[in-house]
């Protein structure tokens, strides 16, 4: 126990030192306010380690039982709020071991036999990542399911497709929702692939070189439910690639959400008025009563920058570290936990918000029927008449200029005027200038025709069932 300069809590590493750790230095280095989130993983890892020690006759069975029962009690105490971690105990591992010592005496120290905080932290982190990846994957599944439902509901609704934020061509709204489905499908696949590298037990690597005790690392792996075991003890405690990969995956997910949010923010504005967000997911203004703001979408868009910052923080932290463990690595937890919380909550709230949006079908039908975005249909009409595309493009550009200067929508231009641009035009040009006809003409693989969208929906549903 260190009491000379105010420290009342025992630090697990302090036995070698002759004077107490400076109080301000302890405050600076304490991580318990951050890593307390790992208490369940830490106790699970300790129970597995103690069970293995007992099975290998490194620890008597009765002593193992007392330690395990004490740890299970402590888990309940923390969960109920009866035990509140204290920053003076440096980290959650110290909190748990000190509390165990209060309950069962010096026997608590045997829990750490053959184990270092290095492989203990690495184990906790991997257990946490397994849990949070599963949680995030479930949220993505819910979002993908909703996108398929939206695609099915609006598969015959024609909206504008955009390039350069300019109206480009009419498309099926279902095609639009399925584009985001494919983005989030890849996000799910990234998490699934990452899980293979996360699902590796580092317990038994000790500080970094292994242990002289006859540890059974394979048994620890089995008890913790890991799919594989570390191959190199140095790498086991010094690897933070899995955190970087996870933060990278979170960054891509948030980027996809942010792009979707940008569409929603624009499309819900008065200027666009393509869709409406439920009042339950909108806010107003404290000074302008008429305002209806897409604040949830804006907040998700804003949190994307935070998650990017979390990724850069860990990349920067790791770039100059020699092998094996360095205390810098303690700083991986704040960005990991911040990005986890931000990404999971963003996917969850975005899904709820999206479920409470609806397209303004009357408005988009009116706009697409009269818009210049049908110009490509004129060019392709001429191509089907065996005119070279570049010449068809030039003629169509002249027709568009006429439509703009005369204020006449393309479908309203008289046939005689069309013939003035090219003798290839006939009455069937008006069939091509219907938004639905434009959409259904896009029959190429993965295109926006209603039949293609129906097929994409079928495939998406099949993917969802196969998970």
CA distance linking residue 310 with residue 194, whole number of Å: 18
Write the CA distances from 107 to 84, 100, 168, 213, 390, integer angstroms. Answer: 22, 9, 73, 18, 85
CA distance linking residue 405 with residue 186, whole number of Å: 45
How far from each other are the two terminal CA atoms of the chain, in whole angstroms?
Answer: 53
| 8 Å CB contact between 52 and 59 | no
Q: Is there a catalytic annotation at residue 93?
A: no
Which residue among the candidates 278, 285, 401, 406 is catalytic per the annotation?
285
| 8 Å CB contact between 189 and 140 | no
Going along 11-122, which residue ranges are E strands? none
Question: Tokens 């570390």 belong to which residue?
Answer: 230
| 8 Å CB contact between 169 and 376 | yes
Q: 121-135 as b/e, with b when 16 or more CB fall inside 10 Å?
A: bbbbbbbbbbebbee
* Residue 139 structure tokens: 């949220």
Best CA proximity match to 85, nearest among 29, 50, 38? 38
* Residue 62 structure tokens: 């009765």
Which residue among the candidates 15, 18, 80, 164 is catalytic per the annotation?
164
Q: Is there a catalytic annotation at residue 29?
A: no
Which residues have C-beta within 8 Å of that of residue 261, sequence separation ≥ 6? 294, 297, 298, 300, 301, 350
CA distance linking residue 331 with residue 187, whole number of Å: 26
CA distance linking residue 358 with residue 187, whole number of Å: 25
Instruction: Residue count of the chain, please give it.
Output: 467
* Residue 230 structure tokens: 């570390």
| 8 Å CB contact between 348 and 139 | yes
Does an H or E element contain 27, and which?
A: helix 23-29
CA distance linking residue 321 with residue 333, whole number of Å: 16
Provide the angle, in degrees to the nearest 10, between the axes of the packed helices 117-153 and 241-267.
30
Question: Residue 227: what are its φ and ψ, rounded to 5°?
Answer: -85, -20
Locate all alpha helices (DSSP H) within 281-388, ordered by sequence. Answer: 295-318, 333-355, 361-370, 375-384
Does an H or E element contain 134, and which?
A: helix 117-153
* Residue 90 structure tokens: 């440096």
Question: Tokens 């996870």 belong to which residue?
Answer: 246
The residues assigned a catalytic role are 164, 285
């Amino acid at each position: 126990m260190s009491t000379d300069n105010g420290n009342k809590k025992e630090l697990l590493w302090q036995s070698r030192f002759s004077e107490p750790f400076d109080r301000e230095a302890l405050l600076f280095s304490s991580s318990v306010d951050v890593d307390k989130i790992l208490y369940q993983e830490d106790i699970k890892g300790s129970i597995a380690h103690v069970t293995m020690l007992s099975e290998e006759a490194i620890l008597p069975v009765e002593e193992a039982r007392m330690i395990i029962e004490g740890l299970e009690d402590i888990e309940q105490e923390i969960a109920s709020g009866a035990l509140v971690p204290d920053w003076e105990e440096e980290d959650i591992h110290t909190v748990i071991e000190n509390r165990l010592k209060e309950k069962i005496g010096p026997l608590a120290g045997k829990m750490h036999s053959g184990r270092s905080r290095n492989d203990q932290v690495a184990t906790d982190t991997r257990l946490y990542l397994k849990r949070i990846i599963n949680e995030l994957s479930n949220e993505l599944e819910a979002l993908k399911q909703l996108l398929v439902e939206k695609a099915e509901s609006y598969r015959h609704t024609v909206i504008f497709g955009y390039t350069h934020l300019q109206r480009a061509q009419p498309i099926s709204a279902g095609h639009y929702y399925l584009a985001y489905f494919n983005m989030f499908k890849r996000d799910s696949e990234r998490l699934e692939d990452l899980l293979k590298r996360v699902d590796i037990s580092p317990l038994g690597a000790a500080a970094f070189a292994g242990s002289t005790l006859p540890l059974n690392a394979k048994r620890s792996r089995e008890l913790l439910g890991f799919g594989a075991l570390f191959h190199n003890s140095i790498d086991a405690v010094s690897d933070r690639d899995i955190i970087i990969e996870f933060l990278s995956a979170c960054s891509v997910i948030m980027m996809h959400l942010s792009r979707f949010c940008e569409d929603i923010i624009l499309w819900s504005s008065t200027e666009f008025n393509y869709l409406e967000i439920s009042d339950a997911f909108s806010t107003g203004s404290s000074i302008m009563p008429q305002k209806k703001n897409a604040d949830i979408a804006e907040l998700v868009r804003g949190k994307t920058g935070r998650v990017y910052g979390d990724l850069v923080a860990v990349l920067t932290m790791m770039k100059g570290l020699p092998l094996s463990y360095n205390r810098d690595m303690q700083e991986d937890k704040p960005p990991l936990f911040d990005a986890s919380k931000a990404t999971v909550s963003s996917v969850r709230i975005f899904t709820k918000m999206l479920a409470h949006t609806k397209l303004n079908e009357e408005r988009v039908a009116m706009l697409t029927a009269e818009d210049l975005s049908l110009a490509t249909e004129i060019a392709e009409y001429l191509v089907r008449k065996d005119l070279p595309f570049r010449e068809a493009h030039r003629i169509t550009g002249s027709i568009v200029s006429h439509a703009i200067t005369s204020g006449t929508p393309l479908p309203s231009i008289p046939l005689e005027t069309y013939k003035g641009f090219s003798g290839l035009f006939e009455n069937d040009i008006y069939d091509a200038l219907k938004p639905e006809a434009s959409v259904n003409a896009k029959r190429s693989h993965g295109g926006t025709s209603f039949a293609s969208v129906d097929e994409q929906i079928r495939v998406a549903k099949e993917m969802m069932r196969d998970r």
